[in-house]
Amino acid sequence: MTKYLKTDWDYNAERLVEVYDELPLWAAPFGLKLLEGIKYKKGIKAVDIGFGAGFPLTEIAMRLGKDSIIYGIDPWEAGVDRAEKKIDYYGIRNIKIIRGVAENIPIDNNSIDLIVSNNGLNNVSDLDKSLSECSRIMKS
C-alpha cells in the first residue's frame, strides 16, 4: 500500500523542480494550520526549517513584513533555487537563505523569536541534534 512512496527520482533535477507543486496536497493541511498558529508581530526574527520550494517561508515573510527577518534553512539545492526565484519574483527582501541542515544552524545563540517547520523536521538526519540547535538559537 505504500509502494507508491518509493521513487528513484533525482530530487536535484530541474525537470522535477519544474513540476513540483507550490504546496503539495499532503502538506497543505499542516501548512495552513501552522500559519493559523503564528502570533504575527513586527520586528521579529524567525526560522523556517526545511522550507523546500518556499512554503511557508515566503508566506510568513510577507505576513511579518519588512521589519522582520526570516531565515530559511534547507539542504535541497534544487528546491532552494526554486524558492530563490520566487523570493526574487515576489520582491521579498526580509528572507535570508541558508543552504544547510538543521543539525548545524549558523545563527547566533538566543537570537530567534519563532521557529517553524512544515514537515521539515521529519526529514533531518539527527532529530535530537536538530532540536538542540533550535533550543540554542531560540530566545528564552
Q: Evaluate whether residue 5 is within a structural domain.
A: no
The pTM of the full predicted model, rounded to 2 decimals, is: 0.85
More confident residue, 25 or 78: 78
pLDDT at 89: 85
**Length of the chain measured in residues:** 140
The answer to whether position 3 is within a domain reads no
State the pLDDT confidence band at 11, using cuts at 50, 70 and 90.
Answer: confident
Dig out the grid coordinates for 12 from the structure.
Answer: 536535484
Residue 1: inside a domain, yes or no?
Answer: no
| CATH classification at residue 107 | 3.40.50.150
The answer to whether residues 9 and 71 touch, using CB atoms and an 8 Å cutoff, is no
Q: What is the mean pLDDT of the chain?
A: 89
| Distant-in-sequence, close-in-space partners of 105: CB < 8 Å, separation ≥ 6 | 47, 73, 98, 133, 134, 136, 137
Do the beta carbons of residue 53 and residue 70 sit within 8 Å?
no
Task: Report how far residue 122's alpha carbon sits from residue 80's, in angstroms, rounded to the nearest whole number.
Answer: 18
Q: Does residue 4 sit within a domain?
A: no
pLDDT digits (tens, 9 = 90+) for 49-74: 999 989 999 999 999 999 999 999 99
What pLDDT does residue 137 have? Answer: 98
Identify the pLDDT of residue 29. Answer: 84
Residue 126, domain extent: 11-137
Beta bridge partners of 96: 71
| Model pLDDT for residues 13-48, shown as the tens digit of each residue | 777 766 566 666 777 888 889 999 999 999 999 999
User: Domain count of the chain?
Assistant: 1
